[in-house]
């Protein structure tokens, strides 16, 4: 059963009213019902590396099946610290500054629970990843939204400056950014950092697509001057290792922030799944070649999908990062992304995600539809072939 956004449900607390069923679950349901090629919800149709799978199987067989240390098995915390240093030049103490969580989703939830008082404000950019607003609401906080406007998804500096106020507790930033494919540039991040320092605001960064950058570079906000001490860096295994169902995530932050996050985390899940933690440690120690190949493979998928969508007649906004591409449906004669995405699985046999659902100001995204390219080339081609029917 699924609920449309805005539907009021009996029993449900006011903190969760109105969010509806996530669009990802809804579109995957339609894809299954109509046997459509699912270019909607972002999950790979292939597995991650064998050496990571083997590590999980070995851990199960070796009996690593009980609760673990609440904030992660020591070797995983060490592997995450090594990864942060190797790629982003960030130094974290594995025992005092890293918390292993059940995916980035729990890291975000626990961080907001830990840091926000009721009535605090959290600045979010829209379009936002859908769990952010629900997590802010469940923490009793309120969101302040700042728009990223297509086609370049830049934000207005004055609009962001005006969002900082006396109740601002934190800004939650996602780069590379889902659903736009934007990678925040250094100048934007310096501006955001300057505002955080000036207003003494914390930053929470969601970097789950850190290894999927095709243009420019991934810069972690925590690496800018004066930011490490006020930033919680969040990421997870899902996208970088193509195991989205494993849900191994982490939050890296200085000791006082980490103690606060762990206070929440211990009562949310206590710890993450035992045998997947040694496997995640093996993954984070993958050689540089692994990450280079991952990016090259995704670049090829991006190029194939973008070229094909442009041939069908979509306006294509080529993504600098992530595994999503935004398309403008107006050249195909459509105005409304939700109607388009409801029609697509049944009539065309493809599923995609309407972008306006990630905006409070829905009109900012009404002409945009997101397609995922975390799929093998044959699946991308099968989707493109079906989409040819839109050309008529």
**Per CB under 6 A, does 251 bind ligand PMP?**
no
Please check whether residue 70 is in contact with residue 273, taking contact to mean a CB–CB distance below 8 angstroms.
no
Residue from 24, 75, 185, 299 touching ligand GLN (CB under 6 A): that is: 24
DSSP of 97-133, one letter per residue?
SEEEESHHHHHHHHHHHHHPPTT-EEEEEES--HHHH
**Per CB under 6 A, does 208 bind ligand PMP?**
yes
DSSP 371: E
Please check whether residue 277 is in contact with residue 129, taking contact to mean a CB–CB distance below 8 angstroms.
no
Backbone phi, then psi, for 148, in 5-degree steps? Answer: -100, 115
Please check whether residue 315 is in contact with residue 306, taking contact to mean a CB–CB distance below 8 angstroms.
no
**Per CB under 6 A, does 44 bind ligand GLN?**
no
Identity of the residue, 324 or 334, whose beta carbon is nearer to ligand PMP in the bound complex:
324
To ligand PMP, the closest distance from the beta carbon of 375 in angstroms equals 15
Judged by beta carbon distances under 5 to 8 A according to partner kind, the member of ligand GLN, ligand PMP, none in contact with residue 41 is ligand GLN
Identity of the residue, 40 or 308, whose beta carbon is nearer to ligand GLN in the bound complex:
40
To ligand PMP, the closest distance from the beta carbon of 323 in angstroms equals 9
To ligand GLN, the closest distance from the beta carbon of 247 in angstroms equals 10
The Cα 218–Cα 146 span in angstroms is 21
Identity of the residue, 179 or 275, whose beta carbon is nearer to ligand PMP in the bound complex:
179
Residue from 42, 181, 308, 345 touching ligand GLN (CB under 6 A): that is: 42
**Per CB under 6 A, does 291 bind ligand GLN?**
no
Give the Cα-Cα-Cα angle 302, 305, 306 (nearest 5 degrees).
Answer: 80
Identity of the residue, 113 or 178, whose beta carbon is nearer to ligand GLN in the bound complex:
178
Judged by beta carbon distances under 5 to 8 A according to partner kind, the member of ligand GLN, ligand PMP, none in contact with residue 236 is ligand PMP
Residue from 121, 206, 328, 337 touching ligand PMP (CB under 6 A): that is: 206
Residue from 40, 238, 308, 365 touching ligand PMP (CB under 6 A): that is: 238
Please check whether residue 276 is in contact with residue 56, taking contact to mean a CB–CB distance below 8 angstroms.
yes
**Per CB under 6 A, does 317 bind ligand PMP?**
no
DSSP of 286-322, one letter per residue?
--HHHHHHHHHHHHHHHHHHHHHHHHHTPEEE--SBS
Residue from 68, 220, 236, 258 touching ligand PMP (CB under 6 A): that is: 236
Strand order from edge to edge, sheet including 324-328: 315-317, 324-328, 368-372, 353-354
Backbone phi, then psi, for 382, in 5-degree steps? Answer: -65, -40
Identity of the residue, 188 or 348, whose beta carbon is nearer to ligand PMP in the bound complex:
188
Identity of the residue, 38 or 178, whose beta carbon is nearer to ligand PMP in the bound complex:
178
Q: Which of residues 251-280 bind ligand GLN (CB under 6 A)?
A: none
Mode of pairing for the β-strands spanning 231-236 and 249-252: antiparallel
Identity of the residue, 235 or 387, whose beta carbon is nearer to ligand PMP in the bound complex:
235
Q: Which of residues 168-187 bind ligand GLN (CB under 6 A)?
A: 178
Tell me the Cα Rg of the chain.
Answer: 20
The residue number whose beta carbon is nearest to ligand PMP equals 103
**Per CB under 6 A, does 87 bind ligand GLN?**
no
C-alpha distances in Å from residue 66, one per residue of 102, 274, 275, 282:
15, 6, 9, 19
CB atoms near residue 151 (< 10 Å): 13
Residue from 38, 41, 99, 137 touching ligand GLN (CB under 6 A): that is: 41
Half-sphere exposure of 254 (CA within 13 A, CB side): 11
Q: Which of residues 104-133 bind ligand PMP (CB under 6 A)?
A: 104-105, 129
Distance in Å from the first CA to the final CA of the chain: 34
What does the binding site for ligand GLN look like in residue numbers (CB under 6 A)?
22, 24, 41-42, 178
What does the binding site for ligand PMP look like in residue numbers (CB under 6 A)?
103-105, 129, 174, 178, 206, 208, 236, 238, 244, 247, 249
């Amino acid at each position: 059963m699924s609920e449309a956004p805005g539907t009021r449900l009996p029993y449900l607390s006011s903190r969760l009213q109105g969010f509806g069923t996530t669009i990802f679950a809804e579109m995957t349901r339609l894809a299954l019902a109509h046997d459509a090629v699912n270019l909607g919800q972002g999950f790979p149709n292939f597995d991650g590396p064998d050496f990571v799978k083997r590590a999980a199987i070995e851990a199960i067989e070796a009996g690593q099946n009980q609760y673990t240390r609440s904030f992660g098995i020591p070797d995983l915390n060490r592997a995450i610290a090594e990864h942060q240093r190797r790629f982003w030049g960030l130094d974290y103490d594995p025992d005092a500054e890293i918390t292993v969580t059940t995916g980035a989703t729990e890291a975000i939830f626990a961080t907001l629970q830990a840091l926000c008082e009721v009535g605090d404000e959290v600045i979010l950019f829209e379009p936002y990843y859908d769990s952010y607003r629900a997590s802010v609401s469940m923490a009793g906080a309120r969101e302040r939204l700042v728009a990223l406007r297509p086609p370049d998804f830049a934000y207005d500096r004055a609009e962001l400056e005006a969002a900082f106020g006396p109740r601002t507790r934190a800004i939650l930033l996602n780069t590379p950014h889902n659903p736009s494919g934007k990678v925040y540039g250094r100048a934007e991040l310096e501006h955001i950092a300057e505002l955080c320092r000036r207003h003494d605001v914390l930053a929470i960064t969601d970097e789950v697509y850190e290894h999927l950058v095709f243009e420019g570079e991934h810069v972690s906000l925590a690496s800018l001057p004066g930011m490490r001490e006020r930033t919680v860096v969040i990421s997870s295994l899902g996208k970088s290792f193509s195991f989205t169902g494993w849900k191994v995530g982490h939050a890296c932050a200085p000791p006082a922030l980490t103690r606060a996050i762990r206070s929440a985390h211990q009562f949310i899940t206590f710890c993450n799944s035992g045998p997947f933690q040694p496997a995640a440690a093996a993954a984070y120690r993958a050689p540089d070649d692994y990450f280079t190949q991952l990016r090259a493979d995704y670049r090829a998928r991006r190029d194939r999908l973008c070229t094909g969508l442009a041939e069908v007649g979509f306006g294509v906004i080529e993504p600098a990062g992530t595994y999503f591409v935004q398309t403008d449906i107006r050249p195909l004669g459509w105005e409304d992304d939700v109607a388009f995405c409801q029609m697509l699985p049944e009539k065309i046999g493809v599923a995609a995600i309407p972008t306006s659902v990630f905006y409070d100001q829905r009109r900012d995204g009404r002409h945009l539809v997101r397609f995922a390219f975390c799929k093998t080339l044959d699946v991308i081609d099968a989707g493109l072939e079906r989409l040819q029917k839109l050309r008529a």
